[in-house]
Amino acid sequence: QVQLAESGGGLVQPGDSLRLSCAISGRTFSSGQMGWFRQAPGEERKFVAAIRRSGGYTYYTDSVKGRFTISRDGAKNTVYLQMNSLKPEDTAVYYCAAAFNGILSSIRTPSRYDYWGQGTQVTVSS
């Protein structure tokens, strides 16, 4: 049984950094892709970043380019989202997601992912 467990969220001030972790159990991230999405109150879940296992290609939504970095640690079977220069508009519940089979043509589409974590709250406020 595949499970994804996010951690690392919290309350920070604008300009601070956080690193989110997504620990994968039940399957090794040896193929496919992993993504991070976020959902603010009253809004739909939106793409933040993704990484493909093959080639390590990374993808970001425009609003986080240059500030967020997605990466993976194969030994720990964990995917990370390093978030720097956080802004109040980054406030949301952050979810990691996995699609281990094949290569998604729509890597930014939540419905294409098979597994989801429970989410971790990130609040950016002064």
Distance between CA atoms of 14 and 88, rounded to whole angstroms? 6
14 or 30, which is more confident: 14
61 in helix, strand or coil? coil
Indicate whether 4 pLDDT > 90. yes
pLDDT value at residue 104: 78
pLDDT tens, 56-113? Answer: 899 999 999 999 999 999 999 999 999 999 999 999 999 999 999 877 788 999 999 9
Averaged pLDDT of the chain: 95
Cα→Cα distances 50→13, 14, 97, 107, Å? 25, 24, 9, 7
pLDDT value at residue 1: 92
Indicate whether 9 pLDDT > 90. yes
What the block records as the tokens of 29 is: 């991230």
Terminal Cα distance for the chain, rounded: 40
Rounded to an integer, the average pLDDT of 19-30 is: 95
Per-residue pLDDT band for 122 (boundaries 50, 70, 90) equals very high
What the block records as the tokens of 111 is: 């419905």
